[in-house]
A and B are shown apart, each in its own frame.
Chain A
Amino acid sequence: MVQPWVDKYRPKSVSDVAHQEEVVQTLEKALEGSANLPHLLFYGPPGTGKTSAALAIARQLFGPELVKTRVMELNASDERGIGVVRNKIKGFAAGAVGSSVAGYPCPPFKLIILDEADSMTSDAQNALRRTMEAHSKVTRFVFICNYVSRIIEPLASRCAKFRFKPLHGNIMTDRINHICTEEGVTMGSGSMETLSKVSGGDLRRAITTLQSAVRLQGPDVAPATLLDVAGAVPDAVTSAVLSACRSNSFAAIQTAIADAIAEGWPAQAMLLEIQAALLSNDDDGVSESARAGVLLALAAADKALVDGADEQLQLLNVASATQKALCASA
């Protein structure tokens, strides 16, 4: 079994976590032997190293053996209703701390990592409030989430908050280059730019895309393969749809959308591309309000798609709204 590169190249220590200086500094201080680690709340977009940082702290604090008994990791795929908080988490938090292992700081507390904490119900979060305080002598919590606004205020105020920034182009490039040398992958010209474009600051997505591309096409990676694996819609498809929208003919958008659907392009990716095309082009004589109207239609369609609506109808509807906006203002 070949290990996913995302796991293989996960940072092993806190100092390896890329591009999050403040976080790394604070955590390293805590690691330097002072037993004082606050409750932590990590938030930020996907693929910026939140889970990696949490796992790295756990490993560095306790070492590989003690991690099994001192750390509890729960993520969205585990049951995390109020029942689990009351029984499992509380039970684990209340337990006494065992002996320490030489060679690691082994501070006298346990760690509970709640990954994807924003998907916990507010009931479950409320049930944690008192638990956090009552057992703060023996337990520290780490909450990890994408949206800090979904963590209830009483929990957030009990934690030290750290925001994880999206990774810039060159930091991502460094990591990718590192993986490429380790795995013997050569990037064709333009591949790196394509990779950072399709991943949009999400390092995990970049690595997964790279690995899939290598699996399919061998160790020479071309930009086209990356685009294909990432499911990104090529510019030609989007511009065909947009020119159909400009044409003022309903039949034209109908054929353009039918073609795009038959080619199997994912509708959500199409919406993103249409949005990008619309926003990047501000001298096409489209009025601001018309543009805003199209964006509204895009948002509604995205919500509908997530709810499971039909791709073809939603795309057609967006295209028809775009056509009306473009043609009315032209």
Chain B
Amino acid sequence: MLWIDKYRPKRLDKLILNQEIGDNLSKLVATGDCPHTLFYGPPGAGKKTLIVALLREIYGAGAEKIKVETKPWKIALPSRNIEVELTTLSSNYHVEMNPSDVGYQDRYVVQEIIKEMAKSRPLDMKGQRGFKVLVLNEVDRLSKEAQASLRRTMEKYSAACRLVMSCTNVSRVIEPVRSRCLCVRVAAPSTAEVQRMLAHVAKKESLSLPDSLSLRVAQASERNLRRALLMLETCRVAQYPFTPDQPVQLADWELYIQEIASDIMQEQSPKRLFQVRGKLYELLVNCLPPTLILRKLVLELLKKLDEEVQHTALALAAQYEHRMQEGQKAIYHLEAFVAKFMSEYKQWSIMAFG
């Protein structure tokens, strides 16, 4: 079992980070009034941990018996029938899913599945909860139509079914949905907190962790606890006992993007653009989100640039990332960004150095 799973706090009162939120949530459950909830915050901040702990607080240990199901949902539309396949994680009390996985048909999934859940009220009334919980991950990736149809469904079926949602980019969740939820902000742990967690896990695993290594892991993780723990585990596999100057292994794709960035800086020519394009494709076929690629790439480029060009590079990145959201094929926009950046950079360097 990975350390992130092994040491994930299971209960609200066992939380180490975000204790305040945990206290508030257990108060909420104690009053029996459990509204629709929306957790938002950066990745690796503990949204999922909070959700799992919240479910356990509501339903007790039964919520941990989870079965995974991939089942086709037959949906009858007025004009035609469609069939979508969706993986759900469910216990007796809750269903968890990623409705954005089905792409543009997400609206029907939202409508059908919530309706189906709401129709069958939970049988076991000993648990004294008259409602089920539907956990929706990544609601920010749902289409606007799907979110709009959540709106009415949330009100209509709120007696039998509560929604618990999580997202990173809260701007993409439409206001009417937000205003129907209790919004809970989950902040990323500070570097010191990440270090504290690393020390905690190291102690449980009875490892001795030098401070300088834990500091470097925490910094490299960019306040993402999940990444920090994974990195620590990688370090453990690579070499134990730890040495203070041990290298912290970054993920493959990060190294690859660093490589692309230095390629771009070395030479600005159509030929190099062609090579970079190949590398970008390589990243895309490995299912990295294009937004992440572009963000990481521009952050790497910024490190290597003079102040004057930094502003330009950033403006370009913001512009092309926006276009990427509007457009269909990410590769065009990634490539356009690289081409435009190359030309701007070349012009600047000719101006500056002749």
Contact = CB atoms under 8 A, between A and B. Distances in A.
A289 interface: no
A76 interface: yes
A254 interface: yes
A95 interface: no
A229 B185 CA distance: 8
B42 A262 contact: yes
A305 interface: yes
B33 interface: yes
Q: Which of A254, A261, A309, A320 has the most CB of B within 10 A?
A: A309
Given A216-B28, A313-B318, A320-B314, A306 B171 contact: yes
A264 B187 contact: yes
Contacts, number: 116
A1 B158 contact: yes
Contacts of B41: 264
B321 A310 contact: yes
Contacts of A321: 315
B187 to A, nearest CB: 5
A12 to B, nearest CB: 19
B245 interface: no
B42 A264 contact: yes
Interface in B148-202: 148-149, 151-152, 158-159, 169-172, 179, 182-183, 185-188
Contact of B188 (A205, A263, A316): A263
Nearest to A264: B41
A268 B311 CA distance: 21
Contacts of A267: 169, 171
Nearest to A311: B169
Given A208-B179, A231-B170, A307-B322, A2 B33 contact: yes
A77 B149 contact: yes
Contact of B314 (A258, A305, A313): A313
A263 to B, nearest CB: 5
B325 interface: yes
Contacts of A316: 314, 318
B31 interface: yes
Nearest to B179: A208
Given A204-B179, A313-B321, A1 B159 contact: yes
Interface string A297-330: 0000100111111111110110011011000000
Given A218-B27, A306-B171, A320 B311 contact: yes
A22 B171 CA distance: 37
Contacts of A265: 185
A182 B141 CA distance: 40
Contacts of B35: 2, 212, 215
B98 interface: no
B40 interface: yes
Given A205-B179, A264-B185, A317-B314, A216 B24 contact: yes
Contacts of A218: 27
B227 to A, nearest CB: 12
B322 A263 contact: no
A268 B222 CA distance: 22
A247 to B, nearest CB: 12
B325 A317 contact: no
A248 to B, nearest CB: 9
A262 B187 contact: yes
B307 interface: yes
Contacts of B87: none
Contacts of A307: 322, 325-326
Given A309-B325, A320-B314, A216 B188 contact: no
Nearest to A76: B148
A217 interface: yes
B317 interface: yes
Nearest to B172: A308
A65 interface: no
A170 B244 CA distance: 62
Contacts of A215: 28, 31, 33, 35, 182
A313 B302 contact: no
Contact of A314 (B188, B294, B318): B318
B295 interface: yes
Pick the 4 closest A-B CB pairs, nearest first. A77-B152, A317-B318, A264-B41, A262-B188
21 contacts: A1-B158, A215-B33, A216-B27, A216-B28, A217-B24, A249-B307, A250-B302, A262-B42, A262-B223, A263-B187, A266-B170, A267-B169, A305-B171, A309-B318, A309-B321, A311-B171, A313-B295, A313-B314, A313-B317, A320-B310, A320-B311
